[in-house]
Structure 1
Amino acid sequence: MIHTMRWFGPKDPVSLMDIRQAGCTGVVTALHQIPVGEIWSVEAIKERIRLVEADNDKYIPLKWLVVESLPVHEDIKKGLPAREQLIENYKISLRNLAQCGIKTVCYNFMPVLDWSRTNLNYEMPDGGKALRFVWEDFAIFDLYILKRPEAAKDYTPEVQIKAAHKLKGMSANEIATLTNTVLLGLPGSEEAFDLNTFQELLDNYKKIGDKELRANLYYFIQQIAPVAQEVGINLCIHPDDPPKPLLGLPRVVSTEDDLKQLMAACDIINNGITFCTGSLGVRPDNDLAGMITQFGDRIHFLHLRTTKREDNPLNFHEAAHLDGDVDMYEVIKAVVAETRKRKAEGRPDWNIPMRPDHGHQILDDLNKKTYPGYSAIGRLKGLAELRGLEMAIEKSETLV
């Protein structure tokens, strides 16, 4: 695998030198400053490349290998007439990225919210801090803070009672923290959704259920994947995180069957997957190693992390990279088998970019402000563990 890390640009407290010293040769980044739906110009792309490669003549070279993400506008997800121009803008951005030599583009199709958590500072037994999702806490936000109409039908009576009881014992500061955590914007953004207008965003999806969202996703990929094929870009969709409907919104990239339907909707290799073991691994019905074998030729980017389901299986937290519910040995073994297969077939993209996704906030980073899940030392630790496991598997004579 090609070892990479995500970098949120010049304002990221984790520097490019940090990423280089962690052992990476690839950078995963995006032009967060450009509003969603607008064209990424060649000039803006080249400026980001110049930043990434600024010290390449003096140190181990870094290269911008993966765009994460080229975001999909909400009007495309909702299937509104405005999507036609927005899709054209997306195509132009893809052409501009290809012109600048960038060949892998990650995106997601989650309505309104991106990834969702209820705690950004969950204390682990070793004193480190992790990201956590608690269904009961999410119910508190949905039922009693947002007060979404018809929210009650999404929660069992037991969960509603527990949520109401827990809310009574929460301080104003705890309520505000939960609210701000749920309303957190896109990774890398310093902006969050506003509670006063958030319900309006949800209301825009009143007539969009599972069937409609799937149709809109398939329409989108059928329009852009041929352009990606033409210019040599691999598109890779990120799974839903968590992989289940939230706030009455459908989510359609959560299971093996979801991926199978999407791959069939546009059956070309450029319509691919960002295989996120953390997102997909939350669901016990997802066989991760088996899915890598099944979809191997469509996997263009890897997010390697693991989550741990708790006593209530709807609750989970980010575990250390080699712990949790993801069998990372079997996952990497399946990836190594796929890369060997690709190499034997002569595929130029045989070596798949990987990044250690998320990481615990530990050591000196406990005293620093970083993007949730993206502190330097926790990801360095995860990368070191993953690289060691990969090397051991690579040096094995067989993969049986």
Structure 2
Amino acid sequence: MALEKTWRWFGENDSITLAQLKQMGVEGVVTALHHIPNGEVWTIDEIQKVKNKIEKAGMRWSVVESLPVSEGIKTHSNDRPRLIANYQQSIRNLGACGINTICYNFMPVLDWARTDLQYKLPNGAESMYFDYPTFVAFDVFILKRPGAEQDYPAPILKKAKVIIQSMTDEEAEKLVNNIIIATQQFIDGVVDSSSLDPKKEFLSYIDVYKNIDREKLREHLKAFLDEVVPVAEEVGVRMAIHPDDPPFSLLGLPRIMSQMEDYEWLLNAQESESNGITFCVGSLSALKQNKLLEIIDKTGDRIHFVHLRNTEVLEDGSFYESGHLTGSQDMVNILEALLKEQKRRKFSGRKDFLMPFRPDHGLKLLSDFKGNFNPGYPLIGRLKGLAEIEGIMKGLEA
């Protein structure tokens, strides 16, 4: 039995319609209530409206991506009790509506980072690129985060200086927009295009973490799990944490969901099956030492959601998104391991054996250049990935 084919849909403002998803053979929709502000309750009425639209189009709402974890929960602000209570109620309401998988993350301030959103590949397609020296140039010389230069080795700082010296003001502003706004605002980022001074506002969020290191952030995640996992378990919902993207520290901020050690800690922190992971090949593969087949082997029974895409990782820690099959990871072996885990679950009698996957970020191809899509979410590039992955699954099943 193949993994469930899903697609991330950004609601009524998405230029890709539910009717089109049905035509493409999508079985489940991955979406969120994007119109509800972070920290507020998702009511049954609002959840049901979206669920009814999806079901009317002939699909099901498979996964919530995401129910955002507010910064106040991550930092333990004074408003935390209210935010936790609202999060718990949203879980209860989703469970009452029969939506049982929630993807979330615990990344501080910055959800995901790329420096170039229009990286040209040799065949003319466009990808997204994280150039490590360019990101350092942004952090040290454009954002001017206090003490930033102490976080990077001398060779990288040297490259960053060369980059910033040749960068025009227009290029610097574009880099600021790519990192702070363009990749964040459609996924409930902390700064959006309405900000009069995005760098200053961004720095103010970073400053809140000056006394929160890796261990302290882990404590905050543990407290979050202790309060929401029992609620999720009670109403039959599975929480699936997304790994850090990229899976290493940025901007001096701690990252606590990047490698096997982090997953071992997470699964021990709350042993309930409702405490699980989103297995994201693209994010995890950006750290060379991550062995993805080992992660599947050791966490398989807690993988509740799967993101599939590939990356090409470079020597200096930079990487670019290389499509779904081509790249540093062997997607055939990864899919085989996931299918075996799903089969094992089914034969063990688990009712929640089905593992939904979605083709993650796609290359911009063909008519994608004429469309208006969120960064990383074109139509044709993701459809190509969906078809490729489905073909591999059919072959493995045969």
TM-score using structure 2 length: 0.95
CA distance, structure 2, for counterparts of residue 121 and residue 48 of structure 1? 32
Stretches of structure 2 that go unaligned for 5 or more consecutive residues are none
Measured after TM superposition, the shift of residue 25 of structure 1 is 0.9
Summarize deviations over 1:219-250 as a string: whole Å, max 9, x none.
10111101101000010000000000100100
Is contact 2:7-2:28 (8 Å) kept? yes
> In structure 2, what is the equivalent of residue 44 of structure 1?
46
CA distance, structure 1, for counterparts of residue 377 and residue 323 of structure 2? 14
Q: Pick closer, same or farther for the CA change 1:77–1:256 going to 2, 3 Å.
A: same
CA distance, structure 1, for counterparts of residue 15 and residue 255 of structure 2? 32
CA distance, structure 2, for counterparts of residue 140 and residue 18 of structure 1? 41
Is contact 1:118-1:133 (8 Å) kept? yes
> In structure 2, what is the equivalent of residue 16 of structure 1?
18
Q: Which amino acid aligns with 1:342?
A: R
Aligned length: 389
Measured after TM superposition, the shift of residue 188 of structure 1 is 4.1
Is contact 1:8-1:188 (8 Å) kept? no
Measured after TM superposition, the shift of residue 80 of structure 1 is 2.6
1:158 correspondence with 2:155:
yes
CA distance, structure 2, for counterparts of residue 21 and residue 256 of structure 1? 38
CA distance, structure 2, for counterparts of residue 40 and residue 280 of structure 1? 30
Structure 1 vs Structure 2: percent identity of aligned residues?
44
> In structure 1, what is the equivalent of residue 304 of structure 2?
300
Alignment of 1:1-400 (within 5 A): 1-55=3-57, 61-184=58-181, 185-188=184-187, 191-192=192-193, 194-312=198-316, 314-395=317-398
CA distance, structure 1, for counterparts of residue 235 and residue 374 of structure 2? 33
CA distance, structure 1, for counterparts of residue 125 and residue 188 of structure 2? 24
Q: Which amino acid aligns with 2:91?
A: L
> In structure 2, what is the equivalent of residue 58 of structure 1?
none
CA distance, structure 2, for counterparts of residue 296 and residue 163 of structure 1? 40
Is contact 1:114-1:186 (8 Å) kept? no
CA distance, structure 1, for counterparts of residue 212 and residue 290 of structure 2? 26
SS in 2 for 1:267: coil
The list of structure 1 runs, each at least 4 consecutive aligned residues, that deviate by more than 3 angstroms after superposition, is 186-190
Q: Pick closer, same or farther for the CA change 1:189–1:112 going to 2, 3 Å.
A: closer
SS in 1 for 2:7: strand
Is contact 2:280-2:307 (8 Å) kept? yes
Summarize deviations over 1:85-105 as a string: whole Å, max 9, x none.
211111100010011110000
